[in-house]
Amino acid sequence: MSAVDEWERLLESAGELTSEAADRIIAAHGDRGVTAIEAVGERRVKGYRDFTVVVGHSEEYVVEGEGCDCEDSQYNLDPEDPTQLCWHVIAVKIATRIDAVDHHDMWYSEVREFL
């Protein structure tokens, strides 16, 4: 079982972000884990009809499954290694498992036109 699987199971069983789960996320992902936890706490994970979006400090990042459109995912991470995740994907995984996604009943593609 990978480190990601371990903290995902902890979150699912607790239904909340416990200190043990946070410690494991940070141990597995370092600063990316810290940033992801902060984003979830600040309710910056947004669920739309077509995408899940994480609001960063200067941009919004579209997350689909294990993929993200951020530069970190595109240039720094090994797509073959399931433990290498950008903080946006980590935030979506956390928020999904603890029911902390801020849901919007609209299409992100329509919202994006106004940004």
Report whether pLDDT(31) > 90: yes
pTM of the entire predicted model: 0.93
Strands (E), 1-101: 45-47, 52-55, 60-64, 67-68
Report whether pLDDT(83) > 90: no
Report whether pLDDT(115) > 70: no
Cα–Cα distance list, 69 to 20, 64, 99 (Å): 29, 9, 23
The 3-state DSSP class for residue 87 equals helix
Mean pLDDT, range 55-72, rounded to an integer: 92
Identify the pLDDT of residue 66. 84
C-alpha span between 78 and 47 (Å, rounded): 26
Q: Which amino acid is at 100?
A: A
C-alpha span between 10 and 21 (Å, rounded): 6
Band (111; pLDDT cuts 50, 70, 90): confident
Q: Which amino acid is at 106?
A: M
User: What average pLDDT does the chain have?
Assistant: 93
